[in-house]
Structure 1
Amino acid sequence: MNILQKIARQIIESSFNFSVYVIQRFYVMDTYANKIENLRQYPVGTLGNDIAKCLDDNELTLVPNFENHDLKHVLLDYKMTPVDEIRMQSFMLGNGNYTIPCFTILIFGAVLLPEEWNTFYKDFKKGKQSKPISSWTIEDFANLETLNLRKRIFTVNHKTNPIFNMEKLTKYAAVISIVAGIFGMIFCLPFLFSQNLADLVGAGFPFIGGAILTTGGLLALSNLAIRNTRKAEF
């Protein structure tokens, strides 16, 4: 690993740590310490006990409003490292988790870790072939055995789907909308700092349009993810 790769990983780790620190400032953390203590009481081999052990081993605690993030780390067997964090988001994107945090973390990691793109793509395909778990919560699954839950997740669904349907069309259109929106915003961004009024006006409207396209695409993907999660059967 060269110096640039080490720096990239340090930037990712520092960013995550800072984000967690900021979130925790707005909550009473004693509540979450009690939750971890309750998880420790579950039998060895259950998801609840494994989550508590994972947090203890890494000297971490539950993050308010992101408790189920640690559930996915344990179930999918991704470590608490910068690379594995991005890998898990790649898996979750393939698994149907079309959320702004997922896209943000994945793009952030992909920019800083281009040498891991092939690994991220493999994780994406793995998530696509697995059962949707974005709606799984600690409360619902803490008492179940971790190994059995993993078998549920990684049981590939061989059910054939039609080549064309409205859901696929919506998904592709949403992705194209997001890509086009982000590209348009990046292209227009330098002109927004121009002192020329014509440049400001000419770039301002396309920039807003790009933001609307990106937001619309994210909302469409989020709605699809919610719909698919509700249809998922264990």
Structure 2
Amino acid sequence: MPQLPTTAPLNRYQQLARKTIEHARTSFLIPIFQRLYGCQNVTVQQQYLQTLPPGTLGRGVADLLQRHQLQLIPHYEDHDLKHVLLGYDMTPEDELKLKAFMCGNGDLSVTSVGFLALGLLTPELWPQLAAHYRRGRRTQPVRHWRLTEYAAHDLEPLRRQIGFYEAQEGEAQV
């Protein structure tokens, strides 16, 4: 998803809010999942994803994780799938947009709703978060998608299958 150009640099509050959101993800959520599920067998799975052809969902996940110097976490890889499938990066803003999308798409888990609550720190993003929520409502449900099932599939047909592009076009009409 293209980033809208920022018209003004972030003020100190906005910078602090984004650092808080990033800290919640990297120092709280990810370590909890690592502690709960460990990191067993992720090296083999991540190596497999790297062998998939470019343009596949699994290769996109491997490339995204490599770009951010992260590794797969068991029971969290399906979240990473959604980053790639839906075109969200791993910035604080995109994490919030992804959670807004997923809430609109029917994922009202504690993780989604709880992380989205951090959006209260970013009132300048509220209109965008609302738009991503609506986009999620207009897209076929993906909350139960598993990386193990879809890794070898080409990304573009999957996006068309869920109505990804139609949901974006629907925003222009709203």
If the length of structure 2 is used for normalisation, what is the TM-score? 0.84
1:123 to 125, 132, 136: 132
2:61 to 28, 37, 51: 51
Partner of 1:68: 78
Distance 1:26 1:101 in 2: 14
Task: Check if 1:84 corresponds to 2:98.
Answer: no
CA displacement at 1:92 relative to structure 2: 0.7
Instruction: Choose between structure 1 and 2: higher helix proportion.
Output: 1
Moved over 3 A (4+): 25-28
Q: Deviations over 1:31-70 (max 9, x none)?
A: 1122111111111211111110111011011122111000
Distance 2:16 2:76 in 1: 26
CA displacement at 1:26 relative to structure 2: 4.7
Distance 1:30 1:144 in 2: 24
* Structure 2 alignment gaps of length 5 or more: 1-9, 168-174
Distance 1:90 1:23 in 2: 21
- Change in CA separation of 1:26 and 1:125 when aligned onto 2, cut-off 3 Å: closer
* Structure 1 alignment gaps of length 5 or more: 158-234
Partner of 1:17: 26
RMSD: 1.6
Q: Deviations over 1:93-120 (max 9, x none)?
A: 1111121111101112x21111100000
CA displacement at 1:25 relative to structure 2: 3.7
> Letter of the aligned partner of 2:124 in structure 1?
E
Of 13-22 and 25-34, more deviation after overlay is shown by 25-34
Q: Which structure would you say has the larger RCO, counting Cα contacts within 8 Å and 6 or more residues apart? A: 2
| % identity of equivalent residues | 33
Structure with larger Rg = 1
CA displacement at 1:82 relative to structure 2: 0.6
Matches within 5 A, 1:154-173: 154=163, 156=166
Distance 1:47 1:53 in 2: 10
Count of matched residue positions in the alignment of Structure 1 and Structure 2: 156
> Letter of the aligned partner of 1:84 in structure 2?
D
